[in-house]
């Protein structure tokens, strides 16, 4: 179902805001890794790990889910479609992949905060969380570039749909 122009514009605004917000929230999470890994003050290290948890739960996760949901709505409600163009399919795949890894990684983030919040716990057991956060950021830069440049390329499904539309246009 195609969205009317006003709704389409509004949904595009929400999608861009949530996608950029996701990147920003990951940036904040990465920034917290800096004192967590480099500070020699145990209080600062504990505070950094403790703050990673709410940033992940209330910053990264809502933005990720909003970006994924609005992206699906945006593609289904416009002529782009969800599976017709390679750039949309790849963006969807990478976004689903990043969101899945994020949700699976949340227990590990919780456990880091639990350790950091325990005064008797050994902080040396914590080794930061740069792998997932920087990796996630790099993965999400691909959909960002694809969404801006929208490189050409129809999938086989998109090509078949295009042929069907042309045939029905000829018949009509």
Partner 1 sequence: MTGPVPPDGSRPGTGPGDDPAPRAPRWVQVLGVLVAVLVLAAVALTVLGGGGHGPSRHGSDQVQYRMDGDTGARDPARSGPA
User: Using CB under 8 A as the criterion, which residues of the chain lie in contact with partner 1 when the complex forms?
Assistant: 39-40, 42-43, 45-46, 86, 90, 101, 104-105, 107-108, 110-112, 114-115, 119-127, 131, 142, 151-154, 156, 159-160, 162-163, 166
Per-residue DSSP letters for 61-120? HHHHHHHHHHHHHHHHTSTT-SSSBHHHHHHHHHHHHHHHHHHHHHHHHHHHHHHHH-TT
Decide whether 49 or 70 has the Cβ nearer to partner 1: 49
What is the nearest approach in angstroms of partner 1 to the Cβ of residue 30? 18
Distance between CA 83 and CA 163 in Å, rounded?
Answer: 15
Based on CB atoms, which residue is closest to partner 1, 7 or 123? Answer: 123
Shortest Å distance, C-beta 1 to partner 1: 25
Q: 77 or 155: whose CB is closer to partner 1?
A: 155
Name residue, tokens 């069907």.
164
- Residue in 133, 104, 119 with CA at minimum distance from that of residue 34: 133
Q: Which is nearer to partner 1, 45 or 70 (CB)?
A: 45
């Amino acid at each position: 179902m195609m969205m009317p122009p006003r709704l389409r514009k509004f949904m595009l605004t929400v999608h861009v805001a949530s996608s950029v917000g996701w990147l920003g929230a990951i940036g904040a999470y990465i920034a917290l890794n800096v004192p967590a890994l480099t500070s020699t003050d145990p209080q600062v290290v504990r505070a950094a790990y403790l703050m990673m948890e709410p940033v992940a739960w209330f910053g990264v996760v809502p933005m990720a889910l909003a970006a994924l949901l609005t992206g699906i709505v945006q593609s289904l409600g416009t002529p782009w479609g969800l599976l017709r163009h390679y750039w949309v399919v790849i963006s969807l795949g990478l976004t689903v992949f990043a969101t899945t890894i994020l949700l699976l990684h949340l227990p590990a983030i919780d456990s880091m905060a639990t350790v950091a919040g325990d005064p008797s716990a050994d902080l040396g057991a914590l080794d930061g969380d740069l792998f997932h956060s920087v990796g996630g950021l790099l993965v999400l830069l691909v959909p960002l570039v694809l969404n801006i440049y929208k490189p050409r390329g129809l999938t086989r499904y998109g090509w078949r749909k295009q042929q069907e539309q042309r045939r029905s246009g000829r018949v009509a």
